[in-house]
Structures are given as structure tokens and as C-alpha cells.
Amino acid sequence: MTSRSGNAVLRADQVEWAEETALGPELVLVEKEREQERRQDRAAHAEQLIKLLVLAGYAAVVALGIAWHEPWADEGQAWLLARDQGFWHLMLHSLRYEGSPGLWHALLWVLVRCHVGYADMHWVSGAVAVGGIYVFLRWSPFPLILNILLPFGFWLAYQDAVVARSYVLYAILAFTAAAILRGMIPEYEPADRGRLICLGVLLGLMANLSVHGFVASVGFAVVAGAVLRRKVRAGFPVRKAMAAVLLCCFWLLAVVTAFPPSDIDYILDRNPQHAAEKIWARLGNQDAKKQLAAKEGTDVRPGELTPLPPVELHHTARERNWRKAARLLATLTFPVSNFRYLALGCVLLAMAMAIVFSRRRGGLGWVGLMPWLLMVVLFRMIDNGPRHAGMLWESLLAGLWLTWPLDAPRGARLWLQRATLAALVVVALDQAWWTAHAVWGDVHGPYSGDVEMAKFLRSQGPDKRIAGFSYHSIGTAAFFDHRIYFNQPTSYWIWSRNVRINQEAQQTIARHPDIIDVGGYELSERNGTITDDWIRPDPRELHEAPLNEVFGVIPYAEAHGYRETHRFCGHAFMRDGYSELECQVALQPVESAGGQ
């Protein structure tokens, strides 16, 4: 407080004035700077503590989900493939029928040889997920509120963490790659050789996750190319040869291990399968030529069951065009939020921010979204189930990581960033609710019926002859250390048109098995397909056959001396509902089942 009269100044705070006079203006400035540094240090320590609590809370949520989770057929299939085969046979032969490269299977192969059990596999998956979130919290450029909320989203905290599949590896690889690339964006940052080699290995491993991972790897490589081009223009030496060679070798390995053989019969890979058939046919493969010549045929042989014909839905030209547009829109919105306009707005804001904060403003520009954009193209081209959509969301987060402003924006750009931040906060809260719903559902009900069916089969004694039908029966087989179905040549399912387990049900049932296990699923009308945000599925498509058991093994068995005695089902949780009803059905001869 001061009062002025002419040139005289009277200070009310005489003590402080005296101290400042004694210290001198330079020392006062130094003391103020030190106090500001202490405040910044306290704020940084507080932020670190909050992030540690977030990491601990995330680990607790994942651990709770794993403790109550019942695995299902896809988890069991990968485990059985790794358990029952030599490494090179697995990599160079069996995986070609899976439509997937082998990084996850290689990890499982090592775990099996380290005596890690089927249930324990999920704890390894959870540990990998925690590692991915550590990378996110340690290096992401997002404000603290997003660092608190985003880790608890459904894909990061449940679908790609609790459910043990290859997708759990994507977050830690993508987030680490994003951190390395973002560190090289500033023009004064060199692109040293060690950093590039590390990036090449990360992207190579990513390509060996799945087809989705391969596409994302290409997207990150495009981003890396754009960053390195800037370095060259800025006069920095770029030694990228070794990293490029490593990455190309990994890409080649992914193609070799995943390229489908001519007799593949993997329903979810129709487009890659058709492309492979064309290639094999041109190379002279007779089986591929036959399949192309009779593409619409059922390939029924004498003495085999005939599959139900698919439901034919006749749409007008306008309806077909709308369905194409809806599929693209749903690819953008399904992984983000079940509130479709919120999800679409969030995606559009992310794209706008990437464009606005371009190279002219020190950013990376739209090229930073390339991993996500290529993933969108892939999902648009091939058939993908909802459980794959987590990689879309994680790719979008990686794209935001790369395009988030390096410096504090001003004016209209500041409001654009705030709007994007607000949309992401609402989306994160929505996804946190999905996670709570899924974990609560796992604790209070089964995810699948595989565990209960395995318990039932064990209770029947070891001398029972059991026949298994449908791919989903593999979920039960994974709980045994030996092959349990006498009518299946291996413990895992072979996706080959030459292995005809379901078609040959007549011959199998004629051998009078003591128990028949038929696995199956029914899609939800809310989260069963990735287009659900914009087009409600036709119930005729979803329920064309009970449990999608198109060969009618259950009714055939019931017409030939068997009756259903047990049915164990669970819900594969997805967003705010579930995607599939997963069931195992037990049938026994009428005379032995009469007392049950």
C-alpha cells in the first residue's frame, strides 16, 4: 500500500520495503525465481503422485477383471496352438490358417515352456497392459485430466487387457512408437541411429501382431518418413539404413507367417481368403481353382450334413448406399462412444486439430493421424468384429499423441484445443462406464460357458468318449492337458476346408459318443456388429440358425438318440452391453440322460 504526494512515496509495508532495500533488486528477483521453481517442483511432484495412483488404480481394475474372467475360444485357440506344436511348425505352417502373424503365439509358446498355465496367461496379459499405461502416463503430451481418465477406458482397461489376445501388445508398442516420434518432431532434435533402430524394432513387432498391426506399422513408418524428411532438410544427418532393413525383415516375416494357404476356411477373413485363392489359382493350384469356380456352392460331399443357406436380404439401391456410408461412419464412431454424434464430433475435432496444428505451426499435421487413417481403411475393406475395434481407438490416441500442440496455442486454436479436450473427457467418462459394466458383469456372471462345461466333462469321468463340434468347442478343450474330442485331429481348430468336423457329424454320431459338446454363439442386437451405431441389424441375419450352428448338429443328434442335458452360457461384454452370447451345449444318449 502506498500514498503519493508530489514525488514523495510513503510505504505502509515498511518492513518488506526495508528488506527489499537491504537485499537489492537483483537478489529479490533471484528469490522470486527460486520460489517459482519450488512451486513448479511441488506441482510436478503432485502430478507424479497422481499418475502413480492412476497406475495403481488401473492395475487394480485389470487384476479384478482377470481374477473373475472366464476365457473363451479365441483365447484357448492361441494357447493350444502354442502348447501343442514346435516353434517353427507353428510359425511357418499353422499360423497361416489363423490369418495372423505370430508375435502373440511366440510369446505364448515361451510361456508354455516356462510352465505358465492357461489361466496364468491372463496375468501376463495384464502385466503387459500395465506396461502400456506406464508408457502412456510417463510420456503422453495430454493434460492431467486425460491422463487420469483415458487409462480406464474400456479398450485399455478391459477388452485389450483382461481378455488375453494379441491386441494387448498393441498399446505398449504404439504408445512407445508415438513417444519416440514425438520426441523427434522439434527441428532441433536429432534423429540419432539408436532411436531409429529402436523405432524399427517396435514397428516390426507391431506388424507381427495381426493384419491390423501390420497396417498400423505402415502408418507409423509413413509418419517416421515425414519426420526424417524434415531432419534432412534441416541439415541433420539421418542414418536410417539399419532401421529400415530391420523393419523390412519384420514385414517380410509377417507376410510369410500370415499369408493364407489355398484351403483356408476362415470366415472372418473372406477378402484376404478370396485374394489368396486368386493367387493360388494363377499359380496352378487345383483346389483354389475349384473354389473359385464354385464360389457360391456349399461343397457338400456324400454322407455329410448340408449347411443352412444364408438369409438373403433384398435392399434397394438407396438402402445399399446408406449401409455403405453407415459402415464408414460406424468405423469412426463405434470404438469411441455409443453416443454416435458425440463420437463423430470427437473424431472430427481430432482431425481438425491435426490439420490446424500443421508444420507451419511447429506440429506434425494430418500425417500424424496416418496409423489411424490406414486402420479405418482396413476396417472398411474387410469384415471385422467389435472386439477388434480397440486397436482403432488406440490408434486414434496415438495419432492425437503425435499431433497434440507442442506449444500453448492462442486465439481460435486455443478454443479448438479446448473443445477437443472437452470431447475427449466426456468420451473417457463414457468408456470408463463401459469398463465398470464389463468388470461388474465378469464378477457377477460368466463371460463364456467354457469353464462350466470343462467342469461338467471332468465330473463324468475320464473314460467317456466325447465328440466336439464347432470352433467354439475349443474353449472347453483348452482346460485339458490332452486332446478330449475323439473326432477332432488336434486339440486346436484347423481352419481348413479339408478338415470337416461339422460336415461329418453323421459318421461321428453313428459311432455313439457318450457326450457331444457343441459350442456356439449368438450376436447381440446392440453390440454384435461394428455398424450398430448407425444401422440396427436385421434379426433374421442374427438368428438365422440357433447358436449360429449352421450345420444343424444339435437337431441332427436329437433326431438320432440324443437329448440336450446341459447348456452353459456367458456374455462377452462389449461397451455398455455385450457382443455375443457364448454357449456350450452338452448332449447325451437318451437312455443315459433319462435320469438327469
pLDDT reading at 320 higher than 90: no
Does residue 479 contact residue 428 with C-beta atoms inside 8 Å?
no
pLDDT value at position 130?
97
Q: Give me the pLDDT at residue 8, please.
A: 43
Task: Name the most confidently modeled range: 22-26, 291-295, 364-368.
Answer: 364-368
CB atoms within 10 A of CB 200: 23
Most confident of 14-23, 290-299, 307-316, 464-473: 464-473
Q: What is the SS3 assignment for 266?
A: coil
Residue 5 phi/psi, 5-degree rounding, is -140, 105
Residue 143 zone, left/alpha/beta (φ > 0; ψ -120 to 50; rest): beta
pLDDT digits (tens, 9 = 90+) for 106-154: 999 999 999 999 999 999 999 999 999 999 999 999 999 999 999 999 9
Measured at the alpha carbon of residue 83, what is the angle toward residues 547 and 518, in degrees to the nearest 5? 15
Angle subtended at Cα 65 by Cα 61 and Cα 70, rounded to the nearest 5 degrees: 175
3-state helix/strand/coil string of 47-73: HHHHHHHHHHHHHHHHHHHHHHCCCCH
Q: What does the mean pLDDT of the chain come to?
A: 87
245 to 188, 197, 206, 393, 580: CA distances (angstroms): 26, 10, 15, 29, 42
pLDDT score recorded for residue 545: 80
Q: What confidence tens digit (pLDDT) does each residue in 216-225 have? A: 999 999 999 9
How far, in Å, CA of 119 to CA of 112, rounded?
11
Burial 102-136 (b: 16+ CB within 10 A, else e): bbbbbbbbebbeeeeebeebbbbbbebbbbbbbbb
Cα 504 from Cα 477, distance rounded (Å): 19
Q: Name, in order, each residue with C-beta under 8 angstroms of 410's C-beta and a sequence gap of 6 or more.
A: none
Handedness of CA 368, 370, 375, 376 (dihedral sign): positive
pLDDT at 452 over 90: yes
Instruction: Note the pLDDT of residue 296.
Output: 41
CA distance linking residue 561 with residue 121, whole number of Å: 40
Torsional sign, CA 70, 73, 78, 79? positive
| Contacting residues for 281 by C-beta, under 8 A, at least 6 apart | 262, 288, 289, 292
Residue 30's pLDDT is: 75
> What are the tens digits of pLDDT across the range 384-441?
788 889 999 999 999 999 999 888 788 888 999 999 999 999 999 999 999 999 999 9
The span from the CA of 316 to the CA of 308, in Å, is 25
pLDDT at 593 over 90: no
Output 298 or 282, whichever has higher pLDDT. Answer: 282
Can you read off the three cell numbers belonging to residue 474?
475349443
Q: In 390-497, at which residue ranges do the beta strands (DSSP E only) sit?
A: 466-469
CA 5, CA 335: separation in Å to the nearest integer?
69
- 2 has a pLDDT exceeding 60: no
Distance CA 398, CA 132 (A): 12
C-alpha cell recorded at residue 62: 485389470
Cell reading at 479: 482346460
Round to whole Å and give the CA distance between 191 and 224.
10
More confident residue, 531 or 65: 65
Distance CA 571, CA 521 (A): 10
Distance (Å, rounded) from C-alpha 346 to C-alpha 339?
11
pLDDT at 596 over 60: no
Distance CA 262, CA 278 (A): 9
Q: In this predicted model, what pLDDT tens digit does every residue of 209-250 receive, in sequence order?
A: 999 999 999 999 999 999 988 888 877 777 888 999 999 999
DSSP secondary structure code for residue 513 in this structure: -
- Cα(121)–Cα(114) distance, rounded to whole angstroms? 11
Whether the Cβ atoms of residue 262 and residue 497 lie closer than 8 Å to each other: no
Spatial contact of 195 and 227, defined as CB atoms under 8 Å apart = no
Give me the percent of the chain exceeding a pLDDT of 90. 62
At residue 266, the pLDDT reads: 66
Q: Give the pLDDT band (50/70/90) at residue 592.
A: low
Is residue 429 within 8 A of residue 152, CB to CB? The reply is no
Q: Is 581 helix (H, G, I), strand (E, B) or coil?
A: strand
Query: SS3 for 478?
Result: coil
User: Tell me, what amino acid is at 573?
Assistant: F
Which single residue is written with the C-alpha cell 516356462?
114
Q: How far is CA 401 from the centre of its chain?
A: 18
Q: Taking a C-beta distance cutoff of 8 angstroms, is the pair 216, 374 a contact?
A: yes
C-alpha torsion angle, residues 363, 367, 372, 375 (rounded to 10): -170
For the chain, what are the domain ranges? 43-68+120-264+336-444, 450-593
Q: Residue 39, Cβ neighbours under 10 Å: how many?
A: 10
Neighbours of 536 (CB within 10 A): 11
Q: Is residue 523 within 8 Å of residue 386, measured between CB atoms?
A: no
Element (H, E) at 562: strand 562-574
**Could you give the CA distance from residue 148 to residue 137 in angstroms, rounded to a whole number?**
9
Query: What is the average per-residue pLDDT within 557-584?
Result: 94
Model pLDDT, residue 38: 79
Alpha carbon distance 387, 397 (integer Å): 17
- The more confident residue out of 476 and 538 is 476
Q: Is the pLDDT of residue 7 over 60?
A: no
**Residue-level pLDDT at 9:** 44
Cα 42 to chain center, whole Å?
Answer: 37
Residue 321, pLDDT > 50, answer: yes
Residue 20 pLDDT exceeds 60: no
DSSP 124-193: HHHHHHHHHHHHHHHH--S-HHHHHHGGGSHIIIIITTTS-STTHHHHHHHHHHHHHHHHT-STTS---H
What share of the chain has pLDDT > 70, as a percent? 87
- How far apart CA 583 and CA 520 sit, in angstroms, is 5
Task: Provide the whole-model pTM.
Answer: 0.88
| Coil/strand/helix, residue 265 | coil
Provide the pLDDT confidence category of residue 474 given band limits of 50, 70 and 90: very high
Q: What is the reported pLDDT for 284?
A: 62
Residues 511-538, mean pLDDT to the nearest whole number:
87
The answer to whether residue 272 scores a pLDDT higher than 60 is no
pLDDT > 70? residue 291: no
Strand partners, 583: 520, 569
Residue 268 has pLDDT above 50, yes or no: no
Out of 155-169, 288-302, 406-420, least confident range: 288-302
